[in-house]
């Protein structure tokens, strides 16, 4: 079994925060892959399903970000899941908004949710880092991640979490490059359409058309 964890804070006051993009991604995974409904377990909400015949447990810890590891550890112990079969999806201020990186292991880099998970299960798990941008000043980081995404952000956030959900089967198959490439393609802005010539349109005012006897003076 694979455990996919989205990080965030519980409750409606935090639902659209930048810090909660991990919750948003897990919600989209559960929806797209038609998992069973969420249930309250392991100090969180869990939903189970299959992706390409692989059993997957989706988890949203309800312990608040700073204590996420407690919920993750409970789910892992109950299902006997090893850390290398855990994928944690979280916000990342050191990535530009809309960018994604995936890595195995490493430090918490100041992220309190990851620090808590490291304390409970070690560092040997997968991280999917979803960029939410940096406010430009370390003193502003706390307020930045606890602010809602703006209306202007909604389009790219929706595309991003949808792309993560669509691409997850590749990460499950340990094809990190394919996972990243597919996300890049799915989130790439559409190319502007070239105007098509309209053969049936009348000629512009003042131009001569084929077969006319002359132009107006």
**How far apart are alpha carbons 182 and 191 in whole angstroms?**
17
φ/ψ of 108, rounded to 5, equals -85, -20
SS3 content of the chain, % helix, strand, coil (to 5): 40, 20, 40
In whole angstroms, what separates CA 197 from the centre of its chain? 40
Q: Report the alpha-carbon angle 61-75-63, nearest 5.
A: 25
Catalytic residue among 19, 85, 90, 111: 19
Q: SS3 for 54? A: strand
**Known catalytic membership, residue 19:** yes
The catalytic site residues sit at 19
């Amino acid at each position: 079994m694979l455990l996919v964890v989205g990080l965030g804070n519980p409750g409606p006051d935090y639902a659209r925060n930048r810090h909660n993009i991990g919750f948003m991604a897990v919600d989209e995974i559960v929806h797209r892959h038609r998992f069973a409904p969420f249930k309250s377990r392991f100090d969180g909400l869990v939903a189970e399903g299959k992706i390409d015949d692989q059993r997957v447990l989706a988890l949203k810890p309800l312990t608040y970000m700073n204590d996420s590891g407690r919920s993750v550890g409970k789910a892992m112990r109950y299902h006997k899941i090893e850390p290398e079969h855990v994928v944690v999806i979280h916000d990342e201020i050191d990535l530009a908004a809309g960018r994604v990186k995936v890595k195995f292991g490493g430090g918490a880099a100041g992220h309190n949710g990851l620090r808590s998970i490291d304390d409970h299960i070690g560092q040997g798990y997968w991280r999917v880092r979803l960029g939410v941008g940096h406010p430009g000043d370390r003193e502003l980081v706390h307020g930045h991640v606890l602010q809602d995404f703006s209306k202007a952000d909604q389009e790219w956030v929706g595309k991003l979490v949808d792309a993560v959900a669509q691409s997850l089967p590749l990460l499950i198959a340990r094809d990190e490059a394919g996972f990243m490439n597919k996300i890049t393609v799915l989130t790439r802005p559409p190319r502007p359409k070239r105007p098509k010539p309209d053969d049936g349109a009348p000629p512009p005012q003042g131009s001569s058309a084929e077969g006319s006897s002359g132009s107006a003076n």
